[in-house]
C-alpha cells in the first residue's frame, strides 16, 4: 500500500502527463508496491483535481470487458473510470488529435440512466429496468503513462479514458435485443473492425451490474441522467490528425468523427 504522499505524487504524475501531452513513466515502476486499491485512490485524487478546476462528472466507463484483455492484463474482472463533461463530443465533431497523447478509438454502447441505481447484488434486469435509453457511442482511449502497462497503471490513469462521442439512434432497452447489436468501424473509408455487443461479457448490461457493485463498495452508485460506457466490442483503432472515422450500427444509425 502507498502512503498518502505517494498517492499524491502518483496523481500529480498523471496530471502532468495529461497537461504536457508527454507520458509519464509507469506508476508501477515508480511505485512497485502499488496495489489495485491504491490505483483507484490515485484515480480519485486525479478526479478531485479536475473537479476543483470546474469539470463535472457525467458518467462512468467500464474497461477490460473481454476475456482476452483481462488475460493480457492478468485480471479476472473489468476496471472502471470516470467520464467528465469536458471530454464529451457529439456525432460529426471535429476533434483535435493533439489533445491526446496517442489516441485510439473503440466501438461501444452507452446506457443513459433513467433512475438511480445503487446497492450490492444487482443483476442485468436491474440495469435494464433503470436504463432510459441505449445509444451508440465511441470511446477515444489514451495512455498518460508509458507502455507496457500493468493493471494499476491503467486504473490510475482513469482506465485509459480519453473522450466519448455519441450519436446514432437512441433505443429503449427492451425495444431491441441488446446482446446482438452489431457495428462496423471504418477509418478513411476502409472497414477496420467489426463486432457484436454480446462480446461484452455476454450482455453489455452485465458490466454495468458489476460496476454498480464496485461503486457500492466505495459508497457510491449510478445516478439518474448519467451515461455509462459498457465496454468495447471491437479492437481499438489508432488515430492521427486527418483521419475520419465512422461507426455504422445498422438500424441504430451511425456516428462520424474527424480528427484535425
Q: Is residue 18 part of a domain?
A: no
The fraction of the chain above a pLDDT of 90, given in percent, is 95
254 lies in some domain: yes
* List of residues 6+ apart from 112 with CB closer than 8 A: 131, 132, 133, 134, 135, 170, 225, 226, 227
Whether 42 is covered by a domain: the verdict is no
Q: 63 or 75: which carries more pLDDT confidence? A: 63
Give the model's confidence band at 70: pLDDT under 50 very low, under 70 low, under 90 confident, else very high. Answer: low
Task: Evaluate whether residue 41 is within a structural domain.
Answer: no
pLDDT digits over 73-107, tens only? 566 789 999 999 999 999 999 999 999 999 999 99
pLDDT in tens, 13-37: 999 999 999 999 999 999 999 999 9
Residue 252 lies in a domain: yes
* Residue 31 belongs to a domain: no
Range of the domain at 231: 57-259
Domain tally for the chain?
1
Q: How far apart are the first and last CA of the chain?
A: 42
Q: Which three cell numbers stand for residue 219?
A: 459508497
243: in domain: yes
Domain with 247 in it: what CATH number?
3.90.850.10
Q: 209 in a domain, yes or no?
A: yes
| pLDDT tens-digit readout, 208-245 | 999 999 999 999 999 999 999 999 999 999 999 999 99
Amino acid at each position: 500500500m502507498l502512503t498518502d504522499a505517494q498517492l499524491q505524487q502518483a496523481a500529480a504524475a498523471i496530471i502532468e502527463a495529461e497537461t504536457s501531452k508527454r507520458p509519464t513513466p509507469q506508476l508501477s515502476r515508480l511505485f512497485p508496491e502499488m496495489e489495485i486499491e491504491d490505483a483507484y485512490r490515485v484515480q480519485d485524487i486525479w478526479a478531485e483535481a479536475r473537479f476543483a478546476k470546474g469539470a463535472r462528472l457525467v458518467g462512468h466507463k467500464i474497461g477490460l470487458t473481454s476475456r482476452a484483455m483481462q488475460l493480457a492484463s492478468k485480471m479476472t474482472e473489468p476496471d472502471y473510470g470516470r467520464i467528465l463533461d469536458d471530454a464529451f463530443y457529439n456525432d460529426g465533431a471535429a476533434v483535435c488529435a493533439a489533445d491526446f497523447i496517442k489516441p485510439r478509438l473503440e466501438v461501444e454502447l452507452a446506457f443513459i440512466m433513467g433512475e438511480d441505481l445503487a446497492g450490492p447484488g444487482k443483476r442485468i434486469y436491474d440495469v435494464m429496468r433503470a436504463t432510459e435509453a441505449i445509444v451508440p457511442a465511441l470511446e477515444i482511449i489514451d495512455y498518460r503513462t508509458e507502455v507496457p502497462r500493468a493493471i494499476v497503471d491503467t486504473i490510475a490513469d482513469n482506465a485509459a479514458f480519453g473522450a466519448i462521442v455519441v450519436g446514432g439512434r437512441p433505443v429503449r432497452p427492451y425495444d431491441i435485443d441488446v446482446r446482438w447489436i452489431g457495428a462496423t468501424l471504418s477509418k478513411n473509408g476502409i472497414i477496420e473492425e467489426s463486432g457484436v455487443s454480446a462480446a461484452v461479457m455476454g450482455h453489455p448490461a452485465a458490466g454495468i451490474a458489476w460496476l454498480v457493485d464496485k461503486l457500492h463498495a466505495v459508497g457510491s452508485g449510478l445516478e439518474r441522467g448519467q451515461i455509462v460506457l459498457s465496454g468495447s466490442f471491437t479492437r481499438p483503432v489508432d488515430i492521427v490528425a486527418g483521419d475520419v472515422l465512422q461507426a455504422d450500427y445498422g438500424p441504430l444509425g451511425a456516428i462520424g468523427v474527424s480528427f484535425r
